Amino acid sequence: MRTCTIDCAQNTLMPHFGDEQPGKTHHHSPVNVHTLGVVSCGSNPMKLHAHTCFEDKAKKGGTNVASLVCRQLFHDDFLQADRKHVKELNFAFDNCGGQNKNRMVLRMLLCLARSKVCDVARAVFLVKGHAKNDCDRMFDLMKKECRKKNSCAPNNVLENLNQHKDVIVLRARVHHFCNWDKFFDQCMNKTEKAKANHIFACTALESFALQVQEHWEVPITKQHTVKKHSVAADWGNPSNKPEALQHPGMKDTKHKELHDKWRPLISLDKRAKSKHHKDDPGAEIRGKAKANAKAAKVTRAARTSSNVEDVKQPKDPKNQNQANSTAGIV
């Protein structure tokens, strides 16, 4: 049996001047560095595999979480040609719908059961208000040294996060992220009642159905997730890899800010290791950034004026008279 705790860490920032006073950088927008952590609960000592990517390469979301879970399974020899096999493969997630509790991750269970990686694939979601999990403890160890040091380039971030002996940082590239949602839509229906339930499982004997429970010791209900024309298809073969996702790229406003505001604060050797500090965004990107800034300013002004109008809106005289009359009744 293999049980893994999976969670997303709070974003790391780059550039980050942890060894200095923040100064004017307090008002600058750094690059977000996303990390998905995987901890095998049976290992001694526990090891954190931290799959790290930068915001211009991938965003947070269910498709990206499913992609990195597959990458971890491949790293653990479960999805290779001479792949391992276990009776149970359990994943423990928190209850975040946007990242973990979604149709991409849940339908991944059927794919694992169909590929004969395990006899039972199960995902357990912790209820709201739960205590810290194993990933949270390991994230603290991962970021302990990173908080104290400067991280001005991607290599600095990865090196500073990889200081602890029980942390293994794996840089996620663009080709690691696949469009699992589109792939699953071809052979499966959408999952149902995901918010109300916390335990989802699939067996190799019934790899067309998803077993659902609200919690332990309650009856199991089944959802026939696989479409009829795909029940006998070979979509569970690990060689059937979905198409790659297009990387989102850096936002125009942030690209301009990285070059104009952050670049003068970074040493020459570090500038050469980050393309956004080294490469001038150009007239086109600067124009788009300026237009986006104007549009955001107009939106904020409209939102502020509408709030002021709501506050200053005169009260209805009829309701005011009624309130005055009732106020004198004891």
10-residue mean pLDDT profile of the chain (330 residues): values are 90 89 81 94 88 91 91 85 82 85 91 88 84 87 90 91 94 91 91 88 91 90 89 74 86 89 87 83 89 88 68 56 48
Report how far residue 307's alpha carbon sits from residue 294's, in angstroms, rounded to the nearest whole number. Answer: 20
The phi-psi region of residue 217 (left if phi > 0; otherwise alpha if psi is between -120 and 50; otherwise beta) is: left
Residue 202: what pLDDT?
A: 94
Report how far residue 285's alpha carbon sits from residue 252's, in angstroms, rounded to the nearest whole number. Answer: 6
Burial bucket for residue 130 (CB in 10 Å: 0-12, 13-18, 19+): exposed
Report how far residue 28's alpha carbon sits from residue 178's, in angstroms, rounded to the nearest whole number. Answer: 32
Tell me the longest C-alpha to C-alpha distance in the chain. 84
Assigned token pair, 197: 């339930």
Report how far residue 236's alpha carbon sits from residue 314's, in angstroms, rounded to the nearest whole number. Answer: 64
Report how far residue 97's alpha carbon sits from residue 100's, in angstroms, rounded to the nearest whole number. Answer: 6
Residue 330: what pLDDT?
A: 38
The residues, ordered by sequence, that sit 6+ positions from 34 with a Cβ below 8 Å of its Cβ are 8, 9, 11, 52, 53, 54, 55, 58, 59, 60, 64
Measured CA angle at 77 (ends 56, 73), to 5 deg: 40
- With CA atoms as reference, report the closest residue to 172 among 273, 72, 279, 41: 72
Residue 328: what pLDDT?
A: 46
Q: What kind and span of H or E run contains 145?
A: none
Residue 312: what pLDDT?
A: 55
What's the predicted TM-score (pTM) here? 0.84
Beta pairing partners, 88: 120
Residue 162: what pLDDT?
A: 94
Alpha helices in 117-258 (DSSP H): 134-143, 154-161, 180-185, 252-257
Q: Sign of the CA dihedral 27, 30, 34, 35?
A: negative
Q: Which amino acid is at 204?
A: A
